[in-house]
Structure 1
């Protein structure tokens, strides 16, 4: 070998050594890492079985037997003062328990489309109500559409704009009157006014229970126009010194009647006298099955405010399940809860705002500016927890980040076309179980709530089409809906301004 060749060989070896040395330094300083994602299982067979059972003969028979009762049934309860801290409890039932889907829909897809249409109407009305409050506009400042005939000719009550909310996804059974008679009532954390259909009924929809007759109750007492309760109503009127109320909902439903006080009973756990409720003589809408609505919002006329509850909680079973769960007032917070601050708006006191900061997908927190979930000084934005909204709504930027993170980890799954408001759907028709990325919510204070797979991938038909159960909104407000809350006890600590989420605690 020549001297030149020998020098070149030595130089080549030296270069390789130097490269290896530099690479080792880089690896020591900046080690190569691989991101580990977390996945969970979705039981496709089980959820499809529940969907199909809604249209089976057996389900129909079981449902009818479960809620059949004697129209003359009364309950005897112990007296509970307004200031009492004792626990009051009611059962919660999904809408399908009272309003059997097979009677109105041909299949599960048709039922889903109806649910999503109601949900969209509710979300639009929540956003509209908030926007009106932020702008300083009250219901009494608004006029009805000229062709909108909501009121009977014999009632001198005003018509509101329809910017309140209404939903019929979950029901509870509440006692009204003395002696107490029980009625199925829609539970709604997005409304304040509680009401039920009353005789004489000028125009009432079909309900499971007999319509309440004021003459049968010794505790029924009409409110006069100058009472605090009447003047607190957003929309009210007088007729012969009696206070009239009217509430319209985003889907076109409405109730009109007398504003009164009554004794309300919570099963065998207690009763509270002189609770202001609406006695509706003119009622229409999607409340079929229930006798009325139970307002659990944060306003002064809500049931929670009137009974001076320090806290309340509920657990919502799967909407396709015939099972029930419990609505509790003044109960102890579960020990295993994930907590978040409960915030209040200076514009809208009805809604329960929560301190949400972001999401994780596959165990990795995604990049979403926390400011997207904040509420500004004007009252715009923020995140509310709502029992009546089904699908969680997020501002466009937040939703896109969440969806894109999810789809990057589901490229092994078979995609399918959009369904209504869902733009991320999959075909699981050939699967009995599937591994999907985990999804979690992050709250102010550092705590994280992991969602079960069935709380963010839901069937939209009975043939195996599943969709990612989040949707975008053009509004700056976010709404955590009841699909994400299913199977989780949600505890509102009104005294400590805290929301607690406890999985598997129904």
Structure 2
């Protein structure tokens, strides 16, 4: 008996139908990511690794490649995950408010502030920030300061320009892990004259008989005040001589163990700007706090994984040259496209609005008119997941206790040049306790500035090329 044969036209139609079914299935599959609930809960329940200053310093990958640590490793004592997260979100909210306040001050054209005579915090304006923004940034590096070099933990911060650290003699110094830097033991410590261009570039500056003064203060009462000087900073085996830094003799606040801050912003006093041609390109990788590996900070032509990066335009706001703006035009949530309003995707002619990439802010903030549709699209794709009460800045939470894995809508950033960055599920679903409550890791803001935070950047190499005016993102390159 001969086998049944379909007519040729019907066979072709059947093949096309099967092909379309496979395409639709693949598209639907790519619209969702699997979240490993058990692994995430195991990670947050693990003890925090505490960084020490004893023993041999770890070798750098190269002279211009440093390891990046999360700040939790400098927090002493047995602190629960829930408490650490709440404190982190409180710091984050204060930082977002202060960044916006600083932008508003710049846009209003306020005059530079001056400190006269002996540095006093009462003489320093309350709205000037340097990146710690009412707490401490979330990631740290370890570098040598002075000659001979002494090792210090510094906060890595793309949201500020001035690099500073605590210095002896201290009238007030907060507790830090390393000994406070003693400039009298360094042969490369040099004062900056009051009439120099470097001193004039400071937002808050002054003068005494020893030279230029700087001041940075924060809305919660934290501050640093001292002399603006030149000193050698050593990255691995590479010394950078005559780098302008703040030498803070009067410092108070919730800085949690780090000695100071490395300013990676785009302004003229930032470390990349002062580094010259070697600083026109740099990148960082911020690994998940609960990963066994460490991130990296790299400078120079080899800092970018160009073949694996997606690039978009680096926008420079002429009114606020510190921040790194990008044109984020829409966000894909599962199979839905959320278009962003113009005041989120870019700033206006007055410099107001826009979205920045920031290493010191944890959770991505979107203006309410952008966050609402994003949240609603995510809710539409998670109707099968049980809801839970909101927590802190999070209003979209789920009870995933007892589940091994769950499927959640894929979230992708779409940029103006057509570039797209798909985020791993662990970069937008955050555990808020050790029992199985997870929340969507985005939050609304009522202010003009939107921010892509470091939680969304985890595991992604973020690069900045000021010469080509590009920002790059490369997943799985940490």
Q: Give TM-score, length-normalised by structure 2.
A: 0.88
Alignment of 1:321-332 (within 5 A): 321=291, 323-332=293-302
How far did residue 87 of structure 1 move? 6.8
Alignment of 1:387-466 (within 5 A): 387-466=359-438
How far did residue 370 of structure 1 move? 4.7
- Structure that is richer in strand per residue: 2
Q: Mean alpha-carbon deviation: is it higher for 300-309 or for 359-368? A: 359-368
Whether 1:239 aligns to 2:208 is: yes
Alignment of 1:291-330 (within 5 A): 291-308=259-276, 309-321=279-291, 323-330=293-300
Equivalent position SS for 2:350: coil
Instruction: Tell me the distance in 2 between the aligned counterparts of 1:283 and 1:179.
Output: 24
**Residue 453 of structure 2 aligns with which residue?**
481
**Residue 71 of structure 2 aligns with which residue?**
95
Q: Size of the alignment, in residue pairs?
A: 444
Instruction: Tell me the distance in 1 between the aligned counterparts of 2:344 and 2:471.
Output: 20
**Residue 125 of structure 2 aligns with which residue?**
160
Unaligned runs of 5+ in 1: 1-32, 78-85, 144-150
Instruction: Tell me the distance in 1 between the aligned counterparts of 2:391 and 2:343.
Output: 30
Tell me if structure 2 keeps the 8 A contact 1:395–1:477: yes
Equivalent position SS for 2:33: strand
**Residue 277 of structure 1 aligns with which residue?**
245
Query: Residues 446, 207 of structure 1: CA spacing in aligned structure 2 closer, same or farther, 3 A cutoff?
Result: same
Out of 320, 324, 346, which is 2:318 matched to?
A: 346
**Residue 119 of structure 1 aligns with which residue?**
92
Query: Residues 109, 488 of structure 1: CA spacing in aligned structure 2 closer, same or farther, 3 A cutoff?
Result: same
Root-mean-square deviation over aligned CA pairs: 2.5
Equivalent position SS for 1:307: helix
**Residue 23 of structure 1 aligns with which residue?**
none
Equivalent position SS for 2:317: coil
**Residue 48 of structure 1 aligns with which residue?**
41
Q: Give TM-score, length-normalised by structure 1.
A: 0.83
How far did residue 41 of structure 1 move? 0.7
Query: Residues 272, 361 of structure 1: CA spacing in aligned structure 2 closer, same or farther, 3 A cutoff?
Result: same
Unaligned runs of 5+ in 2: 1-22
Alignment of 1:210-221 (within 5 A): 210-221=179-190
Out of 197, 201, 204, which is 1:228 matched to?
A: 197
Alignment of 1:150-189 (within 5 A): 155-156=119-120, 158-164=123-129, 165-166=131-132, 167-189=136-158
Instruction: Tell me the distance in 2 between the aligned counterparts of 1:329 and 1:251.
Output: 33
Larger gyration radius, structure 1 or structure 2: 1
Whether 1:500 aligns to 2:476 is: no
Instruction: Tell me the distance in 1 between the aligned counterparts of 2:241 and 2:91.
Output: 34
Instruction: Tell me the distance in 2 between the aligned counterparts of 1:76 and 1:176.
Output: 16
1:330-366 Cα shifts (integer Å, max 9, x gaps): 1432111111100000111110101111100114322
